[in-house]
């Protein structure tokens, strides 16, 4: 009697090994040390999405924390870029810059979600940066929508202030002359 080759157990073992290997090689949407920040950013996105929807914008953002922010040509984004987005909903935030402040994380996230909502295409030199001499029009549009969403969503006044300042609407404290303190009675 000849033994019958049974491929089923072998195939099952191969499929199980492939599944395990795929699970081990799947990249997380954040570096492990930023797990708590990732959860907070996801909560912010969940709170902001209904406001975007109420304004007529539908989206499914795919938010990731990405320290290197490498573009499709393999170049790392400059350190002053805090986040970027593409119209399909992928949003990347630089964790070393945004995770230290809830308000900053919420502001940058709202700005990037606005890019997705407005279906902005990538423009060289754009993304949330710390300063511009003159921001590109898409950045102004994204800040305008982000400010509207943040005001309606409420909660984090620092986020509203950050975006308002980017639009040139922040109130600055008057300069104080520290060279000579005021003299009493004069």
Where do the structural domains in the chain lie, given as residue ranges?
27-166
Residue ranges, the chain, pLDDT below 70? 1-29, 122-135, 171-186
pLDDT in tens, 46-92: 999 999 999 999 989 999 998 888 877 778 888 888 999 888 899 99
Residue 58, both tokens:
């539908």
pTM of the model: 0.72
| In contact, 83 and 128? CB cutoff 8 Å | yes
Percent of the chain, pLDDT > 70? 68
**Cα 164 to the center of its chain, rounded Å:** 18
Domain 27-166 grouped into CATH 3.40.390: yes
| In contact, 170 and 161? CB cutoff 8 Å | yes
Average pLDDT value for the chain:
78
């Amino acid at each position: 009697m000849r033994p019958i080759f049974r491929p089923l157990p072998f195939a099952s073992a191969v499929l199980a090994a492939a599944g395990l290997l795929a699970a081990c090689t799947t990249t997380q949407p954040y570096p492990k040390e930023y797990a708590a920040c990732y959860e907070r950013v996801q909560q912010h996105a969940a709170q902001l999405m209904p406001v975007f929807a109420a304004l007529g914008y539908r989206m499914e953002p795919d938010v990731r924390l990405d320290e290197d922010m490498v573009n499709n040509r393999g170049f790392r984004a400059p350190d002053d870029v805090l986040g970027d987005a593409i119209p399909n909903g992928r949003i990347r935030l630089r964790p070393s810059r945004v995770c230290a402040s809830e308000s900053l994380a919420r502001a940058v996230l709202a700005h990037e979600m606005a890019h997705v909502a407005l279906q902005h295409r990538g423009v060289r030199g754009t993304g949330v940066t710390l300063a511009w001499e003159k921001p590109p029009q898409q950045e102004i549009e994204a800040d305008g929508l982000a400010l509207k969403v943040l005001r309606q969503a409420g909660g984090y006044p620092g986020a509203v202030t950050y975006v308002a300042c980017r639009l040139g609407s922040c109130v600055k404290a008057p300069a104080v002359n520290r060279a000579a303190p005021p003299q009493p009675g004069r």
